[in-house]
A = this chain, B = another copy of it.
Amino acid sequence: MKTALIAIGSELLDGKIIDKNTQYLGKRLTDLGHNLSKVIICGDEKEELTKLIQSLKDYTIFISGGLGPTLDDITKPMLCELFKEELSESEAATQITLTHFERGNRDYDKSVMHYHLMPEGFTPLLNPVGYAPGIYINQDEYEIFSLPGVPAEFQEMLEQSIFPVWFEDQNDRFIKNVIVKTWKVPESKIFHELAPNLWKRLEEFGTVSSLPHSGGVDIGVKLNAKSKEQLLADEKEVLKLINSTPIKDYIWHIGPELLEEVIVLKAKEKGLTIGFSESCTGGLLASRITDISGSSSVFWGSVVSYSNEVKMKSLNVSEQTLKDYGAVSEQTAFEMAQGARKHLEVDIAVSTTGIAGPGGATPGKPVGTVGIGVSTKYKTESKIYHFRGNRLSLKQRFSQAALFKMLEAIIEA
């Protein structure tokens, strides 16, 4: 089964908001042994949309967006035209709608909103979070799921109304993405110097990919087996192959988990508590860790100390250090890490202090300079690093480097 997502919304193309539904749908379909093959983001022109859907006849189509109550919400009228159906009052849709409005303590006004209208051929889908019911259509060679665009509604509708009915345990293929995450080695070295024949040998098992990003390279092999047994055997063989090369010394994790997930898992395993003091990452380290459910059992807190006053007061950074070396220095990073470990009473603390730009550069300290400190009960260390990018990508790179330092400290502890 090939699946495609059509994300409708001029606000996605204007850059007013970021599309979060692609990643969610792609990840979950992959988890369930399916595949997202294609995504099209487009505006809400009826004719273009109709053509697009017609060009995707051999796909299961997800549509996100265009289901709201206002005059610019075109998905339902467009689908009616395509299937030559008329909108009429649907008992099922009305019931779903009224339940939602009662839940929100609001009155539903039929003269103004059209949530309760749906042709007979369409199946309304429960929306556990918002007001607009979704739509399922299976006719004239088409299979279409139409969902709201708001990420919380899109995601919960998938989880509660769509996946359990149409996608779970329906697949006759056994797909798994084996992911081996490496660090401290550049991409070009992996497949040329360390393991020149590996890529070709891995290709016997599935599609091979190599994804470099700040701080590491993820090697992926997408297995596509005919039975559960073969899938397990293939996975074992792939890992054995990789582990027979010098790459094995550069692996920090095997599996799809994010760096922040691995940190939470490993800290939990070792019974360690962690915390941060953040200047240039401005809360991003803490936010990434708290994205992980269960993080509260290891993560105590973070002191986001954007001002020097907070650095001195909460983290006990000395005024003299700030005066002599500046806020962005090895010395300040050192004292921030030490101060955070004591203040938050954690086993390991990591600190960041740097210049994310565009302003703030000083002679010898360009934008992209960052001091990262690590403090455990055995030792405290800090170092200056340099990265390139704009403000947001630098915050991301600073945070990635700092989280890698945290992982290192957890592994060593």
Residues of A that sit less than 8 Å from B by CB: 10-20, 22-30, 35-43, 68-72, 106, 109, 112-113, 128-129, 150-152, 155-156, 159, 177, 179, 186-188, 191-192, 199, 207-213, 218, 220, 222, 256, 276, 278, 281-287, 289-291, 293-296, 299-307, 309-310, 313-314, 343-345, 356-360, 388-395, 397
Contact = CB atoms under 8 A, between A and B. Distances in A.
B28 A13 contact: no
Contacts of A397: 152
Contact of A39 (B13, B106, B128): B13
Q: In this complex, which of A28, A70, A210, A391 has the most chain B Cβ atoms within 10 angstroms of its Cβ?
A: A70
Contacts of A27: 14-16
Contact of A256 (B16, B38, B40, B256): B16
Contacts of A304: 276, 283, 286, 290, 301-304
A286 B309 CA distance: 17
B30 A26 contact: no
Contacts of A23: 12, 15, 17-19
Contacts of A15: 22-30, 36
A183 to B, nearest CB: 16
Contacts of A187: 68-70
Contacts of A357: 293
Given A16-B256, A40-B41, A283-B286, 7 more contacts: A15-B25, A41-B41, A69-B187, A71-B191, A156-B390, A283-B290, A293-B356
Nearest to A311: B301
Tell me the number of copies of this protein: 2
Contacts of A22: 12-13, 15, 18-19, 41
Nearest to A389: B152
B296 A306 contact: yes
10 contacts: A10-B207, A15-B23, A15-B26, A37-B42, A38-B43, A69-B187, A71-B191, A150-B213, A282-B291, A293-B358
B210 A72 contact: yes
A106 B187 CA distance: 13
A37 B10 CA distance: 9
Contact of A306 (B129, B209, B299, B392): B299
Nearest to A192: B112
A152 B393 contact: yes
Contact of A283 (B72, B128, B302): B302
Contact of A301 (B291, B305, B356, B394): B305
A295 B357 CA distance: 11
A259 B270 CA distance: 40
A12 B38 CA distance: 10
A286 B315 CA distance: 17
A303 B295 CA distance: 17
A10 B209 contact: yes
B188 A70 contact: yes
Given A299-B306, A309-B300, A388-B152, A218 B290 contact: no
B188 A113 contact: yes
A204 to B, nearest CB: 15
B211 A11 contact: yes
B303 A69 contact: no
